[in-house]
Structure 1
Amino acid sequence: MKIISRKVVKTHIISGFLGAGKTTLLQHLLQQKPEGETWAILMNEFGQIGIDQQLLPQQGGYEVKELLGGCLCCAGQLPMQIALSRLIQEKQPDRLFIEPTGLGHPAQLLEQLTEPHWQSQINMRVLVTVVDGSRLQDEAWVQQELFQDQLKAAQIVVVSHADMMTELDQKQLEQFKNEYLAYIQTWLLAENGNIQLEHIDVAHQGIQRKIVPLIHIQKQLNSTEDLPVIKQLPYHYVESSNGYTVAGWKFSKRWQFDFYDLLDALCEQKDWLRIKGIFNTNQGWMSFNFNPENLNYKSAEESIDNRVEIITQHNRDWESFETQLLQCRIDRSENSQ
């Protein structure tokens, strides 16, 4: 009986906001395919008409599969699982690129593809997020939660349209590098998407991030049992990467906080590098963006939840901070989720 060995396929996720330059980057990466290899591309477009596929190489050595309608990043997307499995089994590519829609949350897709089920089939490389360097001054664009979530999911960021960046864009980029220093390992400047494959062909290293109940709820659980992993609000998490620690909390958008109590609680914190949050307050929705030089806060659009993150290089008493946060809450009903 002949045993057929199955390839473990090097797999790249190329994410990025709408119009960031993902397909242009992918075109340049595909030009670097060695002769004799087969590369595959799985593309996801939110609409029902596929366009980007027509921009990719149509000659031999490339296998392109499109998923139209919806977002393959969302949890439980069976069509993505089926399409990806078929693409790998039928085409047996040497390398695979996945381009989710610009409206997608790549962290969810990465979570799916690093599950044990896929480890015998794919060799996950670092997640790449593309940002348009010429739009870094567009506050309405860069302040969107989806844009920020895509950045936090990345280990490498490719800054497209680098040749069009102004001095203000360059200054904003330096601020982004400081703001996301706990998440992003490498920033690459690209003119017309021109990046060498070797610069992104790096093994993915998972970040330990466990979403658990709020700390005061954890204390009520049996200390001999593992903490339950949860998805619903409210929850708390701590993750470490690159020598930094990020602690975060998310609460239901229905929870309302006293603005001045909350501002006092945030300003009283010590030994932090960044504090970012958005809250439903009695002064309306407010965003907070603190760094050691500036404590900025302003009115914000309604968010999908209340959230806050603190980046630090020191051990902290997170229970004390959580207690301060909860004391700022106005509607104290435990059932108002």
Structure 2
Amino acid sequence: MIDVYLLSGFLGSGKTSLLLHTIGQLKEQGKKPAVLMNEFGTLPFDSDAVKGEGEVPLKELLDGCICCTGSEKTEAQLQGLLEENDDIDVILIETTGVAHPVEALDAIYSPLFADRLDVKGIVTVVDSRRWLDRDKLSPQIRVLFMEQIRHAHLLLANKSDLLSEGEMATLTMELTNFNDSVPIIQTIDAKVAFSFIEKVLNAPKIISDKPIQSGKNLPLSSKLLTFSDSVDREEFERWVKSLPDSVYRMKGYVPIKGVKNPFLFQYAYGMVNWLPEYVKMEPRLVIIGEGLENIRCDKVVNPFFVEK
């Protein structure tokens, strides 16, 4: 039996960071992990990070959802992992930030490989600041955000370093009241010992008896932008800060003036992260959120982009 762990959480919460930390720990233990990733949109930015980890078997679901509507694709990708790799010890499944975790679990339970997979449960990464400000989310998005937390078997209260002691106490109390059956771990950069995850999820109740409020038909969209030229970093960050709260996530490769290769750029709920790249990546940026049709990024309003 191959252990399966499902990593859930809203856009930008830190799921990919958790995935990469876990891969590293598994490899240190001499185990061979494999990964199934789902991304919102057609570009595999998060998958690129996994590819940088070396020989880790990887399957991707792009511009789709690991849920009931995408179950056939999920089955095909999992079957591909199993057929192409006969020495896998653990499968880590990272859902898109807008997937309902229980729907994702349902899609994994296939008679094709039910006798080979031992699904341990759901680890949900919570953006601590976003939880405290959840009332700012639109009603439908807020329901999904809270559903991801409500159906978890382990909660990581991530980005805890951005909260005061009082805010952290409020967060912990509210999460406990909302889902009182699971441990809550405060994390920075989603760092947690995999041995602890194993212990907590050793014998979870996989299919929750709580009613599901589906995340289908969410009013989310993505926009792909390419760059007309290299940008000034400070000017670009000022543009980012001018965007509305309905922009939940941005990721891509941004060309910076005076720097040879584009930087890997990530944004989630007001937090900006830049990482240098040592190979030349195609400069392009994906924006995920609501009401993106109202965000103009053409050359007249903003000289950075050519909108696709």
TM bracket, shorter-chain basis: 0.5 to 0.7
- DSSP-derived class of the 2:74 partner: helix
**Does 33-42 or 147-156 show the bigger shift?**
33-42
Judging changes above 3 Å, is the alpha-carbon distance between structure 1 residues 249 and 39 closer, same or farther for their aligned structure 2 residues? closer
Cα shift at 1:168: 2.3
1:165 to 163, 166, 180: 163
Cα shift at 1:58: 3.0
Judging changes above 3 Å, is the alpha-carbon distance between structure 1 residues 76 and 25 closer, same or farther for their aligned structure 2 residues? closer
Cα shift at 1:57: 4.8
Letter in structure 2 aligned against 1:192:
D
Distance 2:84 2:131 in 1: 41
Letter in structure 1 aligned against 2:145:
F
Letter in structure 2 aligned against 1:106:
P
Cα shift at 1:203: 3.0
- DSSP-derived class of the 2:113 partner: helix
| Within-5 A mapping of 1:221-260 | 239=209
**Does 79-88 or 163-172 show the bigger shift?**
163-172
Letter in structure 1 aligned against 2:179:
Y
Judging changes above 3 Å, is the alpha-carbon distance between structure 1 residues 142 and 128 closer, same or farther for their aligned structure 2 residues? farther
User: What is aligned with 1:51?
Assistant: 45
User: What is aligned with 1:124?
Assistant: 119
**Does 52-61 or 130-139 show the bigger shift?**
52-61
User: What is aligned with 2:269?
Assistant: none
Cα shift at 1:142: 9.4
Structure 2, unaligned stretches of length 5 or more? Answer: 214-308
Cα shift at 1:114: 3.7
- DSSP-derived class of the 1:37 partner: coil
Distance 1:208 1:96 in 2: 19
- DSSP-derived class of the 1:97 partner: strand
Judging changes above 3 Å, is the alpha-carbon distance between structure 1 residues 204 and 107 closer, same or farther for their aligned structure 2 residues? farther
Distance 2:110 2:59 in 1: 22
What is the TM-score with the length of structure 2 in the denominator?
A: 0.61
Judging changes above 3 Å, is the alpha-carbon distance between structure 1 residues 135 and 53 closer, same or farther for their aligned structure 2 residues? same
Larger radius of gyration: 1
**Does 159-168 or 39-48 show the bigger shift?**
159-168
Structure 1, unaligned stretches of length 5 or more? Answer: 1-7, 210-238, 240-245, 251-337
- DSSP-derived class of the 1:32 partner: helix
Distance 2:206 2:66 in 1: 22
Distance 2:116 2:80 in 1: 11
Cα shift at 1:19: 0.7
User: What is aligned with 1:188?
Assistant: 185
2:74 to 74, 77, 80: 80
Q: Is 1:17 aligned to residue 10 of structure 2?
A: yes
What is the TM-score with the length of structure 1 in the denominator?
A: 0.56
Q: Is 1:29 aligned to residue 22 of structure 2?
A: yes
- DSSP-derived class of the 1:112 partner: helix
Please say if residues 74 and 105 of structure 1, whose CA atoms lie closer than 8 Å, have aligned partners that are also in contact.
no
| Within-5 A mapping of 1:1-337 | 8-34=1-27, 36-75=30-69, 77-92=71-86, 93-114=88-109, 116-138=111-133, 139-141=135-137, 144-166=142-164, 167-181=166-180, 184-201=181-198, 202-206=201-205, 239=209
User: What is aligned with 1:326?
Assistant: none
Distance 1:62 1:208 in 2: 29
Judging changes above 3 Å, is the alpha-carbon distance between structure 1 residues 111 and 74 closer, same or farther for their aligned structure 2 residues? closer
Distance 2:21 2:53 in 1: 15
Cα shift at 1:149: 1.2
Alignment deviations for residues 165-205 of structure 1 (CA, whole Å, 9 cap, x no partner) = 22224313312211221xx4211111111100011122353
Aligned-pair identity (%): 29
Alignment deviations for residues 254-287 of structure 1 (CA, whole Å, 9 cap, x no partner) = xxxxxxxxxxxxxxxxxxxxxxxxxxxxxxxxxx
Judging changes above 3 Å, is the alpha-carbon distance between structure 1 residues 104 and 97 closer, same or farther for their aligned structure 2 residues? same
Cα shift at 1:39: 1.1
Letter in structure 2 aligned against 1:98:
I
Judging changes above 3 Å, is the alpha-carbon distance between structure 1 residues 96 and 142 closer, same or farther for their aligned structure 2 residues? farther
Please say if residues 45 and 70 of structure 1, whose CA atoms lie closer than 8 Å, have aligned partners that are also in contact.
yes
Please say if residues 123 and 156 of structure 2, whose CA atoms lie closer than 8 Å, have aligned partners that are also in contact.
yes
Distance 2:76 2:110 in 1: 15
User: What is aligned with 2:234?
Assistant: none
